[in-house]
Amino acid sequence: MAAHPPIGSAPALVRVDAEHAGQRLDNFLAAHFRKVPRARLYRSVRTGEVRVNKGRVRPDHRLCEGDLVRLPPLCAPSAAPAAVPGEGLARLLAASVLFEDEYLLVLDKPSGLAVHGGSGRSFGLIEAMRALRPHAGALELVHRLDRETSGCLVLAKRRRALLSLHEALREGEVDKRYRTLLKGRWRGGGRRVDRPLRRVSGRTGERMVRLDAGGQEASTAFTPLCVSAHASFMEARPHTGRTHQIRVHACALEMPIAGDARYGDRAFNAQLREQGLQRLFLHASSLRFIHPVSGESLQVRAPLPPALAAVLAAIGLETRESTP
């Protein structure tokens, strides 16, 4: 796409390339004018400021390669300057890159950093990366991790990569593995939890997820890695991608995740805080999928954070992942 028309300039004509063929007009505009409210974009389509091949179309119109889109000189409402990540966060994210090529960027997301801004946060990981990589293409989140969850997170630099990986996720073709610490002693080998989930609102309006026979299908496989009398270090492999899935399925086993303030056990969390746990013990340790362009199998791993490894050592769950 062409560069954003300067403020006060004449409308620009942008020719749709193969990368954006098939995209809805409203999403095309949102990617072009990132800071302009959606309501303003819809109004520009409705009033004819935006046209495709000189004609008026609906916001859900699908673009074709070669279409000419007329873009008016829209600008974001005057407000506080865009937030810029501080030097500390910039260094942290630069050191968190696990894989990068022309199409993808895989990061080891730090715990405590939301993947996107909102709810009082001026920016999240995706906004920070766009600010730090202004020439890296149209960076988009391929999937999400909870704010307190760390580990492998994929960003797409090209729309074709984004769409291909979204389809792979829907078809269950992305192998995601997590490391987590559960309350209690795990007995036996691996076990799979198949319990549907439904999103609800908590008492104070926060997002919650409950087991519900009428909810969305959800499946998680748990495999023990190292077990003690009071806690179990586990691998969790979600076969679906529901919100808070691993956390709620762990509770379904009556073995909540350590450090989970929303669904966990308060007494267990307090015991683990004394051993140094200051966060949710959930880490996206690896991803394996077919590269959307090269067709090659790609596996990316994120080592267990030192703070989590130290907790395992403190409670006597020594593993190869908890030693330097």
* pLDDT tens sequence across 88-126: 999 999 999 999 999 999 999 999 999 987 655 667 899
Domains of the chain: 12-71 (3.10.290.10), 87-163 (3.30.2350.10), 174-322 (3.30.2350.10)
- Helices and strands (H, E) in the chain, number of each type: 8, 15
pLDDT, one tens digit per residue, over 193-233 is: 999 999 987 676 678 999 999 999 999 999 999 999 999 99
Residue 9: how many other CB atoms lie within 10 Å: 10
pLDDT, one tens digit per residue, over 251-287 is: 999 999 999 999 999 999 999 999 999 999 999 999 9
- pLDDT bracket for residue 86 (50, 70, 90): confident
Specify whether the CB–CB gap between 177 and 225 falls below 8 A: no
146 is annotated as an active-site residue: yes
* Sequential DSSP letters for 24-86: BHHHHHHHHSTTS-HHHHHHHHHTTSSEETTB---TTPBP-TT-EEEE----PPS-SPPP---
pLDDT of residue 119: 55
pLDDT of residue 5: 45
pLDDT of residue 224: 97
Residue 177: enclosing H or E segment and its boundaries?
strand 175-183
Specify whether the CB–CB gap between 79 and 32 falls below 8 A: no
- pLDDT bracket for residue 77 (50, 70, 90): low
Mean pLDDT of the chain: 89
**Annotated catalytic residue, options 67, 108, 146, 265:** 146
Q: What is the pTM of this model?
A: 0.80
Identify the residue with better confidence: 121 or 321: 321
Amino acid (one-letter) located at 284: A
Sign of CA dihedral 83, 88, 91, 92: negative
Residue 159's SS3 state is helix
Compute the distance between CA of residue 209 and CA of residue 197 in angstroms, rounded to an integer.
6
Q: In this structure, what token pair is assigned to residue 260?
A: 């989970």
Tokens 């403190």 appear where? 314
